[in-house]
């Protein structure tokens, strides 16, 4: 089998795995919160209160998208808007305790889902997958600079 044949086989397999993983991911995780909302909550939990523009830059999405996602988080009680004490024009988004609880549930479901995906795979194979994905990511990132484009 040539390298080209191997890559074609991999492409087909990858597309099928990606489609099935995505479907399972949405089935299990979307009832809790969308992936984009989870990214925002993770960033807020890790870095503390953030301006919308900073969140947008860090997540490589538009400020408008962050505002829309934030509105949903706020209306559900998972985040709040806070004004800067020194400059009332500046508004921060902050995770709430219910937001942290939801994020912990989300993280637990992610761990459970990933565990189910890899059941029966020896640790050595998982280590190989990690190494391979790291190399692929380096290849993808190599020609690009640190940007969202």
- Least Cα distance to 21 among 144, 129, 137, 134 occurs for 129
CA dihedral 80, 81, 82, 83 (to 10 degrees): -170
Domain boundaries, the chain: 28-140
97-107 mean pLDDT: 97
**Is the model more confident about 147 or about 95?**
95
Q: What is the pTM assigned to this prediction?
A: 0.80
The pLDDT tens digits for 111-147 are 999 999 999 999 999 999 999 999 999 999 887 655 5
4-45 pLDDT, tens per residue?
A: 999 999 999 999 999 999 999 999 988 889 999 999 999 999
Question: Domain 28-140 is in which class?
Answer: mainly alpha
């Amino acid at each position: 089998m040539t390298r080209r044949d191997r890559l074609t086989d991999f492409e087909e397999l990858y597309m099928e795995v990606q489609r099935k993983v995505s479907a399972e991911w949405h089935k299990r995780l979307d009832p809790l919160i969308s992936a984009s909302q989870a990214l925002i909550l993770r960033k807020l939990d890790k870095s503390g209160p953030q301006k919308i523009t900073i969140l947008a830059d860090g997540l490589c999405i538009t400020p408008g998208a962050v505002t829309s996602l934030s509105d949903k988080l706020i209306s559900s009680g998972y985040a709040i808007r806070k004004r800067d004490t020194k400059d009332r024009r500046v508004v921060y988004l902050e995770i709430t305790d219910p937001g942290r609880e939801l994020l912990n549930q989300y993280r637990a479901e992610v761990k459970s889902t990933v565990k189910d995906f890899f059941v029966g795979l020896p640790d050595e194979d998982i280590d190989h997958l990690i190494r391979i994905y790291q190399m692929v990511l380096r290849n993808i990132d190599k020609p690009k600079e640190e940007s969202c484009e």
